Amino acid sequence: MRFFRHRLALLGLFGLVVIFGAGIFANYIAPGGFSAINLADSQLLAHPSSAHLFGTDEIGRNEFNRVIWGIRTSMEVGVFVAAVSSLIGLFVGAVAGYYGGWIDNLLMRLTDLVLTLPALAILLTASALLGQGSQWRISGILVAFFWTGIARVVRGVYLSLREKEYVEAAKASGAGDMRLMFRHILPNTLGPIIVNGTLAVGTAILVEAALSFLNLGIKPPTPSLGGLINAAQAYPQQWWLTIFPGVTIVLIVLCVNFVGDGLRDALDPTQRRVRA
């Protein structure tokens, strides 16, 4: 079973390299950009063919190019949200778990508060009122809600580790708070942080796609996979407009989850492997 899981993790890694590579090198893989229109009759809503791998949309834009550039947007949102919220969560969780006291109390009450709110509804409200349109503002809103989960995890690890003998020994030999927190305890928390951060990439991509699909996320002209599916709603007979962006999202999130699960097995054997 271990081998099977690791094979999946490798497969996921390979898939991610291919898909994200396509996003990073969008200029070369999908030259001509995502917005070149072609109003010739034969080019409107054309079936997938060798000229247009994923067909074209209602104004003759190459769907393949739009999906590739959409991958780039999704990837940027996912990685940015995961990285920034991991960093914030790491600092806040470390301080709360290490010092305890009122900082810890405040953090716990705050995360309690976030947990009482319907997550998607709050994100929708935030992006409807503040962030619609720009991909970076949407990312900022996602970060504002994602860091609390990671902070909770980090806090838990710090709470248990600060009582360990090796920390006491370091303290006895004169290490300061900062040194204890970041030199001695931090390396032992990296496992859960990396695992949670990786899985957060997938969650962020899914949430961003849902927001964009509801027309409350990233707005055109920036291509996003959720936005492409939203636009495809008007053309249910043109299956390629719905299928290709959707399959792309599923593949990205699937690969991210495989990698996350593999990392969990490798780095963090204590954690249960239930949620993908």
Partner 1 sequence: MLTYIARRVLYSIPVLLLSSFLSFLFVSYAGNPIALLRQNPRVSHQTLINLTHQMHLDKPVIVRYFYWLHDVFADKLGNSLITLQPIWPQITRTMSHTAQVIIISEGLAIMLGIAVGIYSAIRQYSIFDYMFTSISFFGFALPTFWLALLLQIAFTDIFLHWNVRIFYTSGLNSNPGGSAWSIDRLQHIALPVMTLLIISFALYSRYMRASMLDVINSDYVRTARAKGVPEWKVIMRHVFRNALIPITTVTALNIGGLLGGAIVTETVFSLDGIGFWFVQALNAKDLYEVMAYLVVTSVIIVLFNLIADVTYGFLDPRIRYD
Using CB under 8 A, list all residues that contact partner 1.
1, 112-113, 115-122, 124-126, 128-130, 202, 206, 209-210, 213-216, 226, 229, 232-233, 236-237, 239, 242, 246, 249-251, 253-254, 257-258, 272-276
- Using the Cα atoms of residue 9, residue 271, residue 252 and residue 151 in order, give the sign of their dihedral: negative
Residue 100, CA distances (Å) to 90, 93, 97, 113, 146 in order = 15, 10, 5, 19, 22
Q: How far is the CB of 44 from partner 1 (least distance, A)?
A: 20
Cβ closest to partner 1, residue 136 vs residue 239: 239
Q: How far is the CB of 105 from partner 1 (least distance, A)?
A: 14
Picking from 82, 101, 91, 102, the residue whose alpha carbon sits closest to that of residue 182 is 91
Say how far apart CA 124 and CA 127 lie, in whole Å.
Answer: 5
Q: How far is the CB of 111 from partner 1 (least distance, A)?
A: 11
Q: How far is the CB of 31 from partner 1 (least distance, A)?
A: 28
Helix (H) or strand (E) holding 153: helix 135-161
Cβ closest to partner 1, residue 27 vs residue 134: 134
Q: How far is the CB of 167 from partner 1 (least distance, A)?
A: 31
Cβ closest to partner 1, residue 220 vs residue 246: 246
> Two tokens at 265?
């097995």
Cβ closest to partner 1, residue 181 vs residue 208: 208
Which amino acid type is present at position 89? Answer: G
Cis before 221 (ω within 30): yes
Picking from 108, 107, 265, 93, the residue whose alpha carbon sits closest to that of residue 185 is 93
Produce one character per residue of 134-165: b if its CB has 16 or more CB atoms within 10 Å, e if not.
Answer: ebebbbbbbbbbbbbbbbbbbbebbeebbeee
Helix/strand/coil for 91 = helix
> Two tokens at 44?
């409107």
Cβ closest to partner 1, residue 161 vs residue 211: 211
Helix/strand/coil for 44 = coil
Q: How far is the CB of 182 from partner 1 (least distance, A)?
A: 32
Q: How far is the CB of 186 from partner 1 (least distance, A)?
A: 30
Beta-bridged to residue 56, according to DSSP, are 62
